[in-house]
Structure 1
Amino acid sequence: MLDLERLRALHSVAAYGSVSAAADVLHVTTSAVSQQLAKLERETGQKLLERNGRGVRLTDAALLLVEHADRILSLVEQAQADLEAQRGAVVGRLTLAAFPTAIRGLMPAALGRLRADHPGLSVLLREDDPLRSMPLVARGDLDMAITQDWNNEPMAIQEGLQKGVICDDVVDVALPAGHPLAGRDEIELKELAGDPWISSSSDSICCDWLMRTLRAIDSEPRIDHMAYEFATQLSLVAAGLGNAVLPRMGRCDIPDGVAVVPLSSPLIRRVYAVWREEAARRPAIRAVLDAIRASVPPELTPVEAAAAR
């Protein structure tokens, strides 16, 4: 009989490319993963890993086992979800990732609701960019992620994931107070063509979107500075170093020297949660989604989210 935890260890090595990376994800030592794999080799009578430079390579036998492990782990998760659904209890542990403004603008109130309404549920929250968090949900390393796309650039959801809309969030432009357009009631994005910009890091979904959006208005993007936190971006805007896009959800205090101007053709990001299809019947998934939706400021709540409550 193959041991489930040993299959999980092999599956993690295949997903993350090394024994040490698998150990980090599984929250165990590298030695513990190596021992699990050694026992699995003895159980199967097959060599599963081969040296490949400084790393390891999975053998054909290992790749075959990983294929089966993927299906087995999926079935186990589905079985757990079905049992929880049958009990109807919102219990257990749920791991959740969200991007910074979603954490600041949604999660404190949502977690407070969950603690009061479902004391048997433990939610582990972490900050992460959607470009990283969605693959982690798909692989089973996270139960749920709060992510986003844009009205001018919808994003496809990976196969095997489901999503639930949370809210729509309008984006304004933050300009240095001395900018020629800072006193306007609204502006068109194309009026800022050629300006310097301040964005999040180049490996983030927001920077990726901003680059493509600026190119769409015939402006080769000029990203002069990168900072992940909006408060830091606004400090750079106040210093006259460039413009920044500024969502309304979870907005921090606006420092002196910054003018926030709406766009006449609004750019809207849609915020939603994603989870694996196998886990869809977990009462905890629905409870967390409902709590987050209930924590959205009314002016940001889209019709779809209100109807789905």
Structure 2
Amino acid sequence: MLNLERLRTLDAVARHGSVSGAADGLHVTTSAVSQQLSKLEREIGQQLLAKNGRGVRLTDAGLLLAEHAARILSQVELAQSDIEAQRGQVVGEVRIAAFPTAARGLFPGALRALRTAHPELRVRTSEMEPEQGIREVLRGDADLAIVLDWSNKRAPVPGGLQRVHLLDDAADVALPVDHPLAGRAEVDLEDFGDEDWVSWPEGEFCHDWLIFTLRSQGIEPRIAHCAGEHHTQLVLIAAGLGICLTPRLGRGRAPDGVAFVPVRQKVRRHIYATWRTDAARRPSIRAAVEALREAGASLSS
């Protein structure tokens, strides 16, 4: 009979594309992955991996078995969900990924509530950008991911996932305090056509959104600096090196020398929790989603 953990290892190699990627995803060593695959090869009497340059690739037999492994593991996930749902107890482990400002803004309240209400539930969290969080959920390396899109640029939900809205997060323009518009009650984005901008790194969804939004207002943006951390963006603003759009969730105290002015067009991020459809009945997933919703509601009130 095929060993489930060895099938899980083969599935991880297929999903991650390498032995080292599978090892990272499974939180084991590359040697452990290789040993599991060698045992699986002996079990079925066929070669599953072949050398491919400096890496490896799945053989035809490996690809075929990996397809079966994915379906078997999905069925196991459904069985686990059904058993947990029948038992109705919030126990075990739930792994949650969130982008940094969501982690700062939502995790303290949500995780404290989960610990109080469900002391037998273990919660593991990690910070990562939304695109990576979705990949982790699709791979089965995370149970929940907190993701986002913007009011004028929506992100599609990949097949096999479902999501729930947690909160809307407004964004303000962050300016140096001596900027001529720093004292305004509201501003329009068109007011900043000749400014240097501080943005998220190129290739990230929020960077693409900023370019799209400014161009839709007739502004060809001058991106002077890129930084992934909001606090880094703000210290650049404090130094007089540009302006940026800064969401409120998880923002914390601003450095001295920074002023925030609301945007008249009501620029907003929509924050969601997303999870695999085949895990939807797990009480641990439902409890974590509810705690995140309550944390989001408390911030919106």
Question: Which residue number in structure 1 is paired with residue 225 of structure 2?
Answer: 225
Match of 1:272 in 2: 272
Is the deviation greater in 246-255 or in 145-154?
Answer: 246-255
Distance 2:205 2:128 in 1: 11
Deviation digits for residues 202-230 of structure 1 (CA, Å, limit 9, x no counterpart) = 24332222122222223333222122221
Question: Deviation digits for residues 123-179 of structure 1, max 9, x if unmatched?
Answer: 101111001101110111110001111110111100000101111111111012232
Cα distance in 2 between the residues matched to 1:70 and 1:277: 15
Instruction: Give TM-score, length-normalised by structure 2.
Output: 0.96
Contact 2:189/2:263, CA 8 A, preserved across alignment: yes
Deviation at 1:298, TM superposition (A): 4.0
CA–CA distance in 2 between the matches of 1:66 and 1:194?
A: 54
Q: Which residue of 1 aligns with 2:173?
A: 173
CA distance in 1: counterparts of 2:239 and 2:179, whole angstroms: 11
Write the distance in 1 (CA, Å) between the matches of 2:27 and 2:254. Answer: 40
Q: Any stretches of 5+ residues in structure 1 without a counterpart?
A: 302-309
Q: Quote the residue 2:123 is aligned against.
A: 123
Return the TM-score normalized by structure 1.
Answer: 0.94
Percent identity among equivalent residues? 56
Distance 1:44 1:296 in 2: 50
1:23 counterpart SS class: helix
- The aligned counterpart of 1:57 is 57
Give how far 1:297 is off: 5.1
Displacement, 1:180?
2.7
Any stretches of 5+ residues in structure 2 without a counterpart? none
Cα deviation 1:14-51 (Å, max 9, x = unaligned): 11111111111111111111111111111111111111
Give distance in 2, aligned partners of 1:25 and 1:203. Answer: 23
- Deviation, 1:249, is 1.6
* 1:129–1:205 Cα contact (<8 Å) kept: no
Q: How many residues align?
A: 301
Give the distance between the partners of 2:239 and 2:81, measured in 1 at CA.
52
- The answer (yes or no) to whether the contact 1:193–1:217 under 8 Å persists in 2 is no
Match of 2:200 in 1: 200
Instruction: List aligned pairs for 1:111-260, cutoff 5 A.
Output: 111-260=111-260
Aligned to 2:101: 101
- Counting only pairs closer than 5 Å after superposition, residues 68-79 of structure 1 correspond to structure 2 as 68-79=68-79
Closer/same/farther in 2, CA of residues 298 and 124 from structure 1, 3 Å limit = closer
Deviations 1:289-308 (A, max 9, x none): 1111222254626xxxxxxx
**CA–CA distance in structure 1, aligned partners of residues 221 and 134 of structure 2:** 26
